Amino acid sequence: MNIIAEKKEIIQRINEEQDEFVIHAIKELLDSGKGLLDADPELDRQLDLAMKEADNDELLPYEEVLAEFRKKYQQ
The pLDDT of residue 38 is: 63
Co-location of 9 and 26 in the same domain: yes
More confident residue, 10 or 30: 10
User: Do 64 and 46 reside in the same domain of the chain?
Assistant: yes
Helices (H), 1-75: 3-16, 20-32, 41-55, 62-72
Query: Does residue 44 carry a pLDDT above 60?
Result: yes
> Given a cut of 70, is residue 35 above it in pLDDT?
no
Shared-domain flag, residues 28 and 45: no
Query: Into how many domains does the chain fold?
Result: 2
Mean pLDDT of 1-23: 91
Say whether pLDDT at 34 is over 60.
yes
For residue 49, the model assigns a pLDDT of 92
Sequence-ordered list of residues with C-beta below 8 angstroms from that of 1, at least 6 positions apart, any chain? 9
Return the pLDDT at 12: 95
Q: In a 10 Å sphere around its CB, with 0-12 CB exposed, 13-18 middle and 19+ buried, how is residue 26 labelled?
A: middle
Residue 16: which domain range?
3-32
